[in-house]
Amino acid sequence: MKKFLEIIKNKWLIKGTMTLLLVAIVIAMYIILNWGVEKIKIEDLDFTEKKLYSLSDETKNKIKGLDNEITIQLINMNDYSYIVEYAEKYTKFNDKIKIEEVKDLSSRVDLMTKYNLQNTDNLIVVKNGDKEKTLTVNDLYTYDYLTYEQIDKTEEAITNAIVEVTLNEKPKIYILSGKAYYETSQALSSIITTLEDESNEIEYLDILTTGEVPTDCDCLIITTLSSDLSDLERDKILEYIQRGGKMMMLSSQNVIDKDTPNFDKILEQYGISMEFGAIFEQDTSKMLANAPEFVIADVSASFMQLGMNLKMCLTDAGNIQFFDEDKLNELGVEYETIAQTSDKAFVRTDFNINSYTRTEKDSEAGEFIVGAEVSKKISDDITSKLIIFSNEICASSMQIPVNQQYYMYAVDLYNNKDVILNSISHLTERTDTIVIRKTGESETYTVTDQEDIIIKTIIFIIPVLIIIAGIVVWQVRRRRK
């Protein structure tokens, strides 16, 4: 025992004990520091140029002034930690927003029954009192068929869900019925479902029954007609235009070989004509699966801020022609091209021609407008707006062959759905919704020369200086012995 006590008194053991104690203290401090950072949930620093990992200014502006008590309920998100982390970012900017995690769904029979869930299912529920909006994991991303990249829309989905449950009044969208060439409820089912999910109220309108376009109509959608409008329908739509009505036209009327003088009167109010014939592309980079009648058109509009290169794929689209400048001025009309073909496209009116290349019977090659936004000034205080696409199939659930093995719904080709939905949102003045989509591509963080020096100093020079200082102190103490 005495020998053991004598050993403890040895300086080397005392110094060794002190060293171990210091190491233990450093490790404990490291653990406590990490625990504290995790506990207080310090927000990550986002150095990416596009702010891929932080909330956008648009979202911050939407949520910072909310007075409603919002709950983001995260059900079974154990395998999606990034969703939990992203949802928590909202609580940093508004303490009215709370996160509720349900990690074991099997213990919540009420939720399983209410949302028809299985034990392993997951769901996001955004609540404001009795109002709620549900999101699945699939709602948090989309796909860019131009770049073949997955597009993250987590922020867009959550922010718009918050906006929706705090919205006091839904825009009213009417779809003209009774003479639709395609069964609208089926053909546009995907668009209609999404519009309803984004807190719009949808109704079908038969003017012959109602006798008018309702005064609460925020947007009237007119699709391809199986027959011409009646005089009553024409006149009531003209009245709607005169009071500043907003309209969306998705019309493949150009390939329906029927005279529609009353429908043409509506187009003429906006300085538009659309003649019989379908556009064929000759630029192989602007056609789907090497099929010239499937036109891939570039899309650009001042009201669309989607954060990606926009394309639409239109089938047998028509040429939207505008009157001359003098006539447009007389009508009080201005327009902006939304979508157009390449300068190698042509219009075909004789569909008995089997050749896919241009013939003498076809029009001259050139750029053709297939989508446009039109403003018609009624008075100093009243302006009517029309967004028109010379194709309805692009917004439909019609199956389109991509190759010999695969089919896709037309509305899911390229950015068709995004373009249609954003056009309608623009017409209904839904400035409360946002579109924030972020690609999964990696970004390179390029530092300045000054930042490079600071980073290298922290990573390399300071640790080296500490080591050198330790060696010097050790040598000085050694010489003093």
Residue 476 pLDDT exceeds 90: no
Tell me the sheet residues that pair with 150.
Answer: 143
Please give the backbone phi and psi of residue 459, each rounded to the nearest 5 degrees, phi first. -80, -40
The pLDDT > 90 percentage for the chain reads: 52
Question: In the predicted model, what is the mean pLDDT of residues 418-426?
Answer: 91
User: What CATH number is given to the structural domain containing 61?
Assistant: 3.40.30.10
Within a domain: residue 341?
Answer: yes
Same domain, 351 and 415: yes
Question: In the predicted model, what is the mean pLDDT of residues 311-328?
Answer: 96
Residue 193 pLDDT exceeds 90: no
Comparing 403 with 104, the larger pLDDT belongs to 104
Its domain, for residue 235, covers: 170-437
User: What CATH number is given to the structural domain containing 350?
Assistant: 3.40.50.880
Within a domain: residue 52?
Answer: no
Report pLDDT for 442.
Answer: 43
Same domain, 327 and 414: yes
- E strand intervals along 237-382: 246-250, 272-273, 278-280, 287-288, 291-299, 311-315, 321-322, 333-340, 346-348, 369-377
207 falls in which pLDDT band (50, 70, 90)?
Answer: very high
Same domain, 215 and 308: yes
Residue 397 to residue 193: CA distance in whole angstroms: 12
Are residues 283 and 344 in contact, defined by beta-carbon separation less than 8 angstroms? yes
Residue 445 pLDDT exceeds 50: no
Within a domain: residue 115?
Answer: yes
Same domain, 190 and 307: yes
Where do we find the tokens 């969208």?
A: 173
Within a domain: residue 101?
Answer: yes
The pLDDT > 70 percentage for the chain reads: 78
Reported as half-sphere exposure (CB side, CA atoms, 13 A), residue 220 has a value of: 27
> Kindly report the CA angle at 125 between 122 and 131, in degrees rounded to 5?
155
Residue 407 to residue 388: CA distance in whole angstroms: 26
Report pLDDT for 168.
Answer: 79
Question: In the predicted model, what is the mean pLDDT of residues 359-364?
Answer: 95
Residue 336 pLDDT exceeds 90: yes
Comparing 443 with 229, the larger pLDDT belongs to 229
Same domain, 129 and 213: no
Report pLDDT for 41.
Answer: 52
Are residues 393 and 410 in contact, defined by beta-carbon separation less than 8 angstroms? yes
Report pLDDT for 270.
Answer: 98
Same domain, 94 and 180: no
Please give the backbone phi and psi of residue 137, each rounded to the nearest 5 degrees, phi first. -60, -35
Within a domain: residue 127?
Answer: yes
Residue 100 pLDDT exceeds 90: yes
> Kindly report the CA angle at 140 between 137 and 143, in degrees rounded to 5?
115
Same domain, 124 and 271: no
Same domain, 216 and 292: yes
State pLDDT tens for residues 260-300. 999 999 999 999 999 999 999 999 999 998 999 999 999 98
Residue 65 pLDDT exceeds 90: no
State pLDDT tens for residues 431-440. 666 665 555 5
Report pLDDT for 117.
Answer: 92
Same domain, 76 and 207: no
Within a domain: residue 396?
Answer: yes
Report pLDDT for 245.
Answer: 97
Residue 319 pLDDT exceeds 70: yes
Within a domain: residue 158?
Answer: no
Same domain, 377 and 231: yes
Amino acid residing at 338 = I
Same domain, 324 and 375: yes
Q: How many domains does the chain have?
A: 2
340: CB partners within 8 A, 6+ apart: 297, 298, 367, 368, 369, 370, 371
State pLDDT tens for residues 218-252. 999 999 999 999 999 999 999 999 999 999 999 99
Residue 183 pLDDT exceeds 50: yes
Q: Average pLDDT, whole number, for the chain?
A: 84
Within a domain: residue 316?
Answer: yes
153 falls in which pLDDT band (50, 70, 90)?
Answer: confident
Domain boundary among 399, 422, 437: 437
Same domain, 75 and 223: no
Say if residue 240 is exposed, middle or buried (CB neighbours under 10 Å; 0-12, 13-18, 19+): buried
Report pLDDT for 144.
Answer: 60
Report pLDDT for 456.
Answer: 59
Residue 171 to residue 462: CA distance in whole angstroms: 61
Say if residue 475 is exposed, middle or buried (CB neighbours under 10 Å; 0-12, 13-18, 19+): exposed
